Structure 1
């Protein structure tokens, strides 16, 4: 038993990971009255969620009084300290993590060194995510899978904290018109689904627009009909693939053509060269 806690448990990730987001360790504790950490700095991110009791957290020249439902975030390189209340010391869970995506994810939910506390969460529901993070580390024969699982639960925890902190999340105002937004949705659909059979009717149905209206707005904004734009996407991707060692049949299938001869005909019509000729020209 940790002498500074009436209860203390920690689970450590057995894998030294360099992924974009990786849990280092996670634990739960009930410190004794006036138990203090810091002033100190860490080289990783550390989230604490308070389930009961009270305490004080300080970082970036700010002091926060935290109680049940509050979550505080320690940033790497930031001087911090925290202390349990003398009468009602807090009970909290924590997770330490690192990775190049960590700061971005926290920023996206409205957390920063200047605003490092999220208030008003549901301790019971939040505790569920911490429990799953800790249970990921069972010292199995596949630590890489444990690392993946714990990172997935960490993302869900951060997502849940973001819901609690939605009033702090800022969105960049957009000046695009309704038509621009609608056409943008159609363009994104075509750019993501170009490997699949696509029809105007299917496109309009999936986006919830009338076929005639969608075609009119699309051509007005892009200068191309939707199917012309789809062909352009497919042919530009085909040009990239023709610079690899893939066969013509493989390139055709990769850009949504089941018939390699039909693909070759369309490519020649679009580029002025047959796929095989285009490939040779790129090697000159």
Structure 2
């Protein structure tokens, strides 16, 4: 038992993983009145969700009084402190995590050092407590730390989803950074980048986005300078260039970039690059 708490438990991830998103540890506690942490700096992200009681969280010189349902977020490299209320000390759960995409993900959810408190994420305490509980029980020293890490990452993503849902009003108040058609063009580009190995129908893509094929092609070219099929062709050829630097056969390269006919692929690659695939491979480019 932590002497500064009437209740304290923490679970540690046994796997040192610093990929896209990885939980470090998670816990739950009831600190004593006026128990304070900081001023300090962490090298990881740390979120707390308040279940009961109150306290004050401070970051970038701004103090937030937090009550049940509120979640406060500590950012790496940012000076922070938090203190339990003298009369009604808070009861909260927490999770620490790292990852290459975390800062971007939180920013998309409207969570930044300037807006570090989300209200309402814990308004459904049973759901949120369940997520924290599953985070902690992911680490059972089962002998399979990779699986434990994956499971905890899944529960963390669900928790971040809850924060995003609670923060929707703040996101709605932000000025639109791009128009609807720009967002849809972005979706179309993402689709082509992920599905270039498959047969692609621009007609079907346009329908899925809610546009007529002619209009989508016009707006796509206006945005990228290329028609959708030209854009797709370039994706396939650029990927083929990479694969030609491996030991894969020409047939295998062709199949890997969406061509069922290796001869047709070779003709198209030569037209695009000025060299046959085999010659391009020998050139060592």
Q: Give TM-score, length-normalised by structure 2.
A: 0.82
Number of the residue aligned with 2:52: 52
Deviations 1:175-226 (A, max 9, x none): x684x66665545433432211234543444344444555566677777665
Q: Which residue of 1 aligns with 2:105?
A: 105
The gaps in structure 1 that reach 5 residues or longer are none
Say if 1:205 and 1:53 are closer, same or farther in 2 by CA, change over 3 A. same
Distance 1:239 1:136, change over 3 A: same
Out of 124, 131, 135, the residue aligned to residue 133 of structure 1 is 135
Q: How far apart are 1:152 and its partner, in Å?
A: 2.5
Change (3 A) 1:203 1:90: closer
CA shift in 2, pair 1:203/1:78, >3 Å: closer
Change (3 A) 1:138 1:230: same
Name the Cα RMSD after superposition: 3.0
Segments of structure 2 that go 5 or more residues without pairing to the other structure are: none
Aligned residues: 281
Higher alpha-carbon deviation: 86-95 or 162-171: 162-171
Q: Distance in 1 between matches of 2:192 and 2:247?
A: 26
> What secondary structure is seen at the aligned counterpart in 2 of 1:64?
strand
| 1:115 aligned partner | 115
What per-residue deviation string (whole Å, max 9, x for no partner) do you get for residues 99-143 of structure 1? 343333333322233332212222332222211211110011111
**Partner of 1:283 in structure 2?**
284
Secondary structure, counterpart of 1:140 in structure 2:
coil
SS at match of 2:11: strand
Change (3 A) 1:242 1:91: same
Q: 1:205 to 1:177 in 2, by over 3 A?
A: closer
1:173 pairs with one of 177, 200, 224:
177
- TM-score (ref. length: structure 1): 0.83
